[in-house]
Amino acid sequence: MKNGQRYEPLTVPRRVILGPGPSSANPRVLRAMSLPIIGYLDPAFFELLDELSGMLGEVFKTKQRAFAVAGAGSAGMEAGLVSLAAPGDTVIICSYGYFCERQIIMAERLGFNVIALRTEWGKSMDPQVLADALKEHPETQLVVGIHAETSAGTIQPIAEFARLAHEAGALFMTDVVTSLAGCELEFDEWDLDFAYSGSQKCLAAPPGISPVALSERALDYIRNRPVPPTSWYLDLSLIADYWGPDHVAHHTAPVSMIYGLREAVGMVLNETLATRWKRHEANADALRAGLEALNLDMPISKEERLDQLTVIKLPKGVDDVKLRTQLLDEYSIEVGRGLGKFAGEVIRIGLMGESCVPANVFALLNALEKVLPDHGFEVAKGAATAAASAKLAENPSPLYTA
């Protein structure tokens, strides 16, 4: 304490979080995180790990390995890269957005021979681009592609990417940070090798832990590679051993985060995956109907767009920072800015997990109707909420009762 200063309990502003992540955390998840701490080698904690591993397997749709890496989704990303390839190996990275570029940066730092397949942002990548690259680089060890590229708002054909990788003798890893529990994902059926996610989006838990799924094929590679992964902490085989039946000690697990993740995944399974996917689709449809009524341009095609995240092209003369600041200051609504090539040109609206409910759709549309005229863009009063209401009547959102 300095000069008698006293620190009062922390307070933070309450927000309606409609950006690209994190989403709001359910109170049930937050309550679970306040449960008493137990040791990470306590038999009671091992029971929790066993339960959660099985639950994560249900969400990833896998009968193989499912567990969690301590750290945000970027930790899951780096764990996959460092474990599934060695310095000097050829790694092909499919790049169609900002987070693909982050994978490239990470892979280059790890000393891989990186082949970056850069295609247009806001579009799904043609698998033929990957097929051609694999023919040119038959020595490829690993192919990497993001399922739901949050920066660009696009869904990608990762099942086809995985098939091409395996035909060429390579492993395939994917980012499912935005897609897990928000849209169809079939780890086993699509024959994926490694998928990493984050706790803070469609799972609706706080950020800080990365759920992952790992194929037996990939685990066998890690266990038998000539040289161990350069990172001990992020070695997926060691983490899998801690989560496995023998619970071999590794790092100190983030006990409270695992409590929260267990509760969040339990809520997903109570709701059922199909219902949660439907909830994301129905609310996104309502949002898009309202945005169309405001004459706002959504540049991602119907076939390629995400339900979890909608990209809106800013009208001419509308300043990105001023618009987002006004929404935050006057309505306590947070939306996302554009990244990379989309910086200053778009805003990104996330409807994920706890935040994916009709009330938030109407709150945002009502706020946009009020603030857009302040930026020189006139709108028809009431048109957006009426359009969203009509769309929800046509395609209702399941009631969120998990």
Look up residue 125 and give its DSSP letter.
P
Cα gap 391→396, rounded to integer Å = 8
**Token pair 């038998």: residue:** 224
What is the pLDDT, as a whole number, of residue 1? 58
Angle between helices 273-293 and 358-371 (to 10 degrees): 20
Strands 90-95 and 65-70, sheet pairing: unpaired
CA dist 196 and 198 (Å) reads 7
Structure tokens at 26: 């359910």
- Per-residue pLDDT of the chain (402 residues), as tens digits, is 577 889 999 999 999 999 999 999 999 999 999 999 999 999 999 999 999 999 999 999 999 999 999 999 999 999 999 999 999 999 999 999 999 999 999 999 999 999 999 999 999 999 999 999 999 999 999 999 999 999 999 999 999 999 999 999 999 999 999 999 999 999 999 999 999 999 999 999 999 999 999 999 999 999 999 999 999 999 999 999 999 999 999 999 999 999 999 999 999 999 999 999 999 999 999 999 999 999 999 999 999 999 999 999 999 999 999 999 999 999 999 999 999 999 999 999 999 999 999 999 999 999 999 999 999 999 999 999 999 999 999 999 999 876
- Phi, psi of 173, rounded to the nearest 5 degrees: -125, 150
Strands (E), 156-231: 171-175, 194-196, 209-214
Region label for 325, one of left (φ > 0), alpha (ψ between -120 and 50) or beta (otherwise):
alpha
* Tokens 């969203």 sit on residue: 388
Closest residue by Cα to residue 119 from 137, 139, 103, 100: 100
Predicted local distance difference test score (pLDDT) of residue 5: 87
- pTM of the model as a whole: 0.96
Distances (CA, A) of 135 to 79, 112, 131, 170: 27, 19, 6, 12
Helix, strand or coil, per DSSP, at residue 69: strand
Residue 163 contacts residue 129 (beta carbons within 8 Å): no
